[in-house]
Amino acid sequence: MNAEDVLTQIAAEVSVCTKCVLHYSRKHAVPGEGRPDAEIMFIGEGPGFYENEQGRPFVGPAGKFLDELLQRAGLKREDVFITNVVKCRPPGNRDPQPEELVACDDYLERQLQAINPRIIVTLGRFSMAKFLPNARISDVHGKALWVNGRLIVPMYHPAAALHQPSLKATVIEDFSRLPAYLEMARQGQPDQTAAEQKTYAPEPPADQDEHPTQLSLF
């Protein structure tokens, strides 16, 4: 099967999944959406209220902010693939539990294999922990590290900037680095031993607004 067919199959499996307790309270599972050959894959934490209602990722306030962040980076939803580490909404938007992460991990791994993105942008600490288990998001946000031949770029979840407005400028600056990271990823991983691997953090574009226009929250 080609990538699109594989993703369609995964979505069908997710829609009837009963591997963990989250299926009891879901209205719609949210397998993810986007280009089957996307160069950039965004991985969030889990669906929220609006996502559970519509069966699509990032369609609530955090999703609107994500759309604006993508636009600032010269991207559109149609250019990327967006999913979460868990595909059903945790009740009350609580954190995903370990057994729920395990239950969904096979779906995520198969999505990664099908899409084979150059860059994985993790949104929030739970998706970051899958690739960088010992990292602190406050230390590595907006930076990039080669992991198994891909650039992993941890970022704060867009919802964090809505709940903590002081983070908004940081999130905007981090997203502004994505075009530089994409160019880096296209050039391929430099020859490095594991001991030599390091994080990369290019300067944001020189014309980045110091006082960006107000972004809609709702």
Identify the residue with better confidence: 213 or 105: 105
Per the prediction, the chain carries an average pLDDT of 90
DSSP-derived letter for residue 75 is -
Of 1.10.620.20, 3.90.1150.10, 3.40.470.10, 3.90.1300.10, the CATH number of 3-187 is 3.40.470.10
Averaged pLDDT for residues 195-205: 56
Q: What is the C-alpha separation between 82 and 55, in angstroms, rounded?
A: 12
Averaged pLDDT for residues 121-145: 97
Cα–Cα separations (whole angstroms), residue 190 to 179, 182, 196: 18, 14, 10
pTM for the predicted model, two decimal places: 0.88
Q: Please work out, in degrees rounded to the nearest 5, the angle formed at the alpha carbon of residue 87 by the alpha carbons of 83 and 88.
A: 140
- What is the pLDDT at residue 112? 98
Q: What are phi and psi of 168, to 5 degrees?
A: -60, -45
pLDDT in tens, 102-111: 999 999 999 9
Is the pLDDT at 209 greater than 60, yes or no?
Answer: no
- What is the pLDDT at residue 52? 98
* Residue located via tokens 């879901």: 26
Averaged pLDDT for residues 172-183: 97
3 state DSSP class of 47: coil
- What is the pLDDT at residue 55? 98
